[in-house]
Structure 1
Amino acid sequence: MQGLQSCVGIIDIRKDGTGFLRQPANDLAAKDSDAVVPKDLVHRFALKNGSLIEGSGFCSAGHDSPRMNKIDTIDGQTPSAYRRNKSFKKRTVIDPDFHYELGLHPQEGQLSMRVIDLLCPIGRGQRALLVAPPRTGKTTIMMDIAKAMEALYPDVHLIVLLVDERPEEATYWRRTITKGEVFVSTMDQSPQNHARLSELVQFRAERLVESGKEVVILLDSLTRMTRAFNNTIGGNNSRTMSGGLDSKVFQRPKHFFGAARNTESGSSLTIIATALIDTGSRMDQVIFEEFKGTGNMELTLDRHLADRRVYPAVSIQSTATRKEEKLLTSNILRKVNILRRVLSRLRPREAMEMLADRLGRYESNKEFLDAFSSDDV
């Protein structure tokens, strides 16, 4: 269609300085119809990858895409306001200090969320790792987290990123998430597409933080993202490590996971990522070992509990949040520590079954803790 057209999309700036407006509906994939943002506009407005651009452009005969000549807003701000945004990397990073109480949302998976609130609370700016063997319920827990976030914290900008995922899982997520964004690179797409989408989603999240937003990314999975990056690098100077991984492979996925942070300015990026273990793959094990300890919250699922249909299949001993005293009150923390000591005397199955049973007797964690006594457990 010729003539003046409105242009809206997420900017993807190529190496030559030219930008293209990618569409969320297309999972930010490159299309011939994507509007072109000339180098001079990119330079004039100091545009950065991942910004949401709104403006207009002219589409000439014989071309499928408009060429922008006017920019009205950048990330919902005027160009002058956008220029005043403090850079993501220059913001002062602080510990998570606000607790997302996910167990307050009444849903089928409320028990799992209440267990998380007690044993590994998620705070604003958390860098959380959900460690899971196959078929232990990780997707269900991630979905329950997403539902609770949407219901309880509507001001949070929720992003779900699925890398190398089954197409039917992608459909399920899209039909479930009503307010957040879902970006998917399915298993039938190339590693290059997995890597490109991951990087552009990270840029998008950073731009949102710069504009003052609270952002939460649910990533499934960090393992498959690392595999994808491993398949996109290499060359004469590369060195192969244990598990068939390139020596440079962790730079980009660590850059993604490490972007999670709380800032003094109030904006934040929370990342909750899954890591796969016990898959029979040496590569997956090496990936997990590399990321183990890089987060400040770990939720570990237990295959033996899942095999016995004990849900949530949480390994209590291997699940915790660093500096949880900044998320929980001193009274709650004291009672949680007593609870942990009591549960540590039991076998894993007995401990999880007992905790689930006791929580089920009360409508909320507050009621449970108010009535809590070590003798009751």
Structure 2
Amino acid sequence: MSDMPDRALLESKERDELLQIAAALGVEVAPRARKNTIIGAILAPEGEVGTGKEASDGSAEADAASDAPAVTKRTRTPTPPADATPATGADVPAEQPAAASDPGSSTESAAEAEGEAGEAADSGTSAPDAPVAEEGNRRSRRRGRGRDDTQIVGETVHCDGLLDLRDEGYGFLRTNGPLPSADDVYVAARQVRQYDLRRGDRITGVSRPAARSERNPALLRLDTLNGEPPPEQPERPLFDDLTPVLPTDALPLGGEQSAGALAAIDRLSLIGLGSRGLLTASGTRSASPLIASMAAAVGDQHPDIHLIVLLIAERPEDVTDMTRRLETSGEVLASTFDRPPEEHLAVAELTLERTKRMAEAGADVVILFDGLTRLARAYAAGGNGRHQPADAVGAAITSTLRFFGGARNLEDAGSITMVATTRTSTGNQVDDLVAARLREAANLEIALGEGLPGVAELDAGEVSLDGDRSFSLGDHR
């Protein structure tokens, strides 16, 4: 066609101009056709240029072909019907990459693979169809969901520990002391409700091994609750509902012929069951030796009283020494100084809850605590995530007072006696504030001054006792 423009001229024009030229020549092109497609339609021989739907379809097909990425077409040679591949086999390659990319698939064991093959055989599915199973089902089998507990391999074992409850209602038996460990036993919320379990209960029972989807063993049977069979447990009172009263029974520490600090304490102001006492040390003076002497005296002279020595942020070697001293006469619960504040709080609070459960049952418990000042520091450090820095000190003091206030003598029940160490004149303003508030809550204070000799050499004149907040022990003075 002599009046048709040449390709070089058309290629120099814009796409919109090419569309106008195509419309003037009566050539129909797709609205989204590319520039080369429009030029080809304009330069096409007259017999190939359609004026109807054929031209539009052809242009659309050419445009779609140009938009699609280049692919390699594969053809499959027909095979005899007897050897034909099932239609579902064509979908297998699409499922396999998803399974291979699953992070958990690399940890599949040979036994589990055989189990999946067995499941496919039991369901009547042929071997080629087994990989077509849904990916979610494979993941469910990997996680152990849908399995019966009766298939768990392992023997039941005896368990013994303190119950630590969570806010969600379930809990764990701390079998290796008050801190979490891999051997802790899970206690379901249903069991907590069934036996009216509380934090700090001493529980013995039987546990089963952890299932594949679990981290801890689980409690199967509860044998004893605080030393008694659970069905025979009477209705237990709540600690906060019991009436606190003044101490009425004395706790003498020194013998008839004893001397030193313990004899001085007995002569000046006897400690009573249910007292809250402070051992105040100033400067670099340490009250730990006096705590050790008191622990030995209580263990030797009062075997009917349950003795607990609580050590917070203490040196590991001092914990070992105290544990060996009280190997048969008491228990030592500790968190050393190299542990985080959260562990200090967990040990102290679970210990106090344990003594509350014992007092509810009528037992007398003595807690010798070293040190209350370090617990206040742990509360201040642990509270920074929940309070503003200006409120952390106030929250720490409140929490420490709440802990110290757990010691009391209970009417028609047992008692909790707490003698705790505090430090003053350390250069830390928080320590002095805590000590001042604790003095208001204590009914006995033993002050150890700077430069005093060892505990074994102390006499009555070297230990000052604040008797203003005394108790009804007049006959024993």
Question: Normalising by the residue count of structure 2, what TM-score does the alignment of the two structures yield?
Answer: 0.63
Asked if the contact 1:7/1:56 (under 8 Å) is kept, the reply is: yes
Asked if the contact 1:3/1:60 (under 8 Å) is kept, the reply is: no
2:301 aligned partner: 152
Structure 1: unaligned runs, 5 residues or longer? 334-377
Worse-superposed segment, 312-321 or 46-55: 312-321
For the pair shown, the structure with the greater C-alpha radius of gyration is 2
Asked if the contact 1:125/1:271 (under 8 Å) is kept, the reply is: yes
Once residues 281 and 370 of structure 2 are traced to their aligned partners in structure 1, the CA distance between those partners, rounded to angstroms, is 11
- Give the direction of change, closer, same or farther, for the CA distance of 1:315–1:287 in structure 2 (3 Å limit): farther
Q: What is the aligned counterpart of 2:271 among 122, 126, 148?
A: 122
1:186 aligned partner: 336
Q: Which has the higher strand share?
A: 1
Once residues 237 and 442 of structure 2 are traced to their aligned partners in structure 1, the CA distance between those partners, rounded to angstroms, is 25
- Give the direction of change, closer, same or farther, for the CA distance of 1:122–1:66 in structure 2 (3 Å limit): same
Are residues 1:210 and 2:360 paired? Answer: yes
Once residues 316 and 172 of structure 1 are traced to their aligned partners in structure 2, the CA distance between those partners, rounded to angstroms, is 25
SS in 2 for 1:273: strand
Equivalent positions of 1:8-47 (< 5 A) are: 8-23=160-175, 26-47=176-197
Q: What is the aligned counterpart of 2:247 among 93, 96, 104?
A: 96
SS in 1 for 2:394: coil
Q: Please report how far the alpha carbon of residue 305 of structure 1 lies from its aligned counterpart in structure 2 after TM superposition.
A: 3.5
- Give the direction of change, closer, same or farther, for the CA distance of 1:191–1:65 in structure 2 (3 Å limit): same
- Give the direction of change, closer, same or farther, for the CA distance of 1:174–1:3 in structure 2 (3 Å limit): same
1:199 aligned partner: 349
Once residues 289 and 138 of structure 1 are traced to their aligned partners in structure 2, the CA distance between those partners, rounded to angstroms, is 18
Once residues 208 and 232 of structure 2 are traced to their aligned partners in structure 1, the CA distance between those partners, rounded to angstroms, is 26
1:140 aligned partner: 289
Once residues 217 and 316 of structure 2 are traced to their aligned partners in structure 1, the CA distance between those partners, rounded to angstroms, is 31
Once residues 60 and 202 of structure 1 are traced to their aligned partners in structure 2, the CA distance between those partners, rounded to angstroms, is 30
Identity of aligned residues (%): 31
Are residues 1:264 and 2:415 paired? Answer: no
1:374 aligned partner: none
Once residues 167 and 320 of structure 1 are traced to their aligned partners in structure 2, the CA distance between those partners, rounded to angstroms, is 35
Q: Which amino acid aligns with 2:420?
A: A
Asked if the contact 2:379/2:395 (under 8 Å) is kept, the reply is: no
Once residues 158 and 33 of structure 1 are traced to their aligned partners in structure 2, the CA distance between those partners, rounded to angstroms, is 26
Equivalent positions of 1:51-66 (< 5 A) are: 51-62=201-212, 65-66=216-217
Q: Which has the higher helix share?
A: 2
Q: Which amino acid aligns with 1:16?
A: E
1:3 aligned partner: 155
Equivalent positions of 1:364-375 (< 5 A) are: none
Asked if the contact 1:213/1:267 (under 8 Å) is kept, the reply is: yes
Asked if the contact 2:444/2:465 (under 8 Å) is kept, the reply is: no
Once residues 207 and 196 of structure 1 are traced to their aligned partners in structure 2, the CA distance between those partners, rounded to angstroms, is 17
Once residues 191 and 183 of structure 1 are traced to their aligned partners in structure 2, the CA distance between those partners, rounded to angstroms, is 15
Are residues 1:299 and 2:460 paired? Answer: no
Larger RCO of the pair (alpha carbons < 8 Å, separation 6+): 1
Asked if the contact 2:448/2:464 (under 8 Å) is kept, the reply is: no
Asked if the contact 1:82/1:211 (under 8 Å) is kept, the reply is: no
1:85 aligned partner: 236
SS in 1 for 2:223: strand
Are residues 1:283 and 2:430 paired? Answer: yes
SS in 2 for 1:50: coil
Equivalent positions of 1:165-180 (< 5 A) are: 165-178=314-327, 179-180=329-330
- Give the direction of change, closer, same or farther, for the CA distance of 1:171–1:317 in structure 2 (3 Å limit): closer
Q: Please report how far the alpha carbon of residue 237 of structure 1 lies from its aligned counterpart in structure 2 after TM superposition.
A: 5.1
Once residues 61 and 29 of structure 1 are traced to their aligned partners in structure 2, the CA distance between those partners, rounded to angstroms, is 23
Q: Please report how far the alpha carbon of residue 10 of structure 1 lies from its aligned counterpart in structure 2 after TM superposition.
A: 0.3
Once residues 130 and 310 of structure 1 are traced to their aligned partners in structure 2, the CA distance between those partners, rounded to angstroms, is 17
Q: Please report how far the alpha carbon of residue 234 of structure 1 lies from its aligned counterpart in structure 2 after TM superposition.
A: 2.6
Asked if the contact 1:60/1:66 (under 8 Å) is kept, the reply is: yes
1:73 aligned partner: 224
Once residues 60 and 259 of structure 1 are traced to their aligned partners in structure 2, the CA distance between those partners, rounded to angstroms, is 36
Q: Which amino acid aligns with 1:327?
A: L
Q: Please report how far the alpha carbon of residue 95 of structure 1 lies from its aligned counterpart in structure 2 after TM superposition.
A: 0.4
Asked if the contact 1:127/1:296 (under 8 Å) is kept, the reply is: yes
Q: Please report how far the alpha carbon of residue 229 of structure 1 lies from its aligned counterpart in structure 2 after TM superposition.
A: 0.8
Once residues 156 and 312 of structure 1 are traced to their aligned partners in structure 2, the CA distance between those partners, rounded to angstroms, is 27
SS in 1 for 2:383: coil
Q: Please report how far the alpha carbon of residue 313 of structure 1 lies from its aligned counterpart in structure 2 after TM superposition.
A: 8.5
Are residues 1:131 and 2:131 paired? Answer: no
SS in 2 for 1:247: helix
Worse-superposed segment, 213-222 or 67-76: 67-76
Asked if the contact 2:360/2:413 (under 8 Å) is kept, the reply is: no
Are residues 1:320 and 2:471 paired? Answer: no
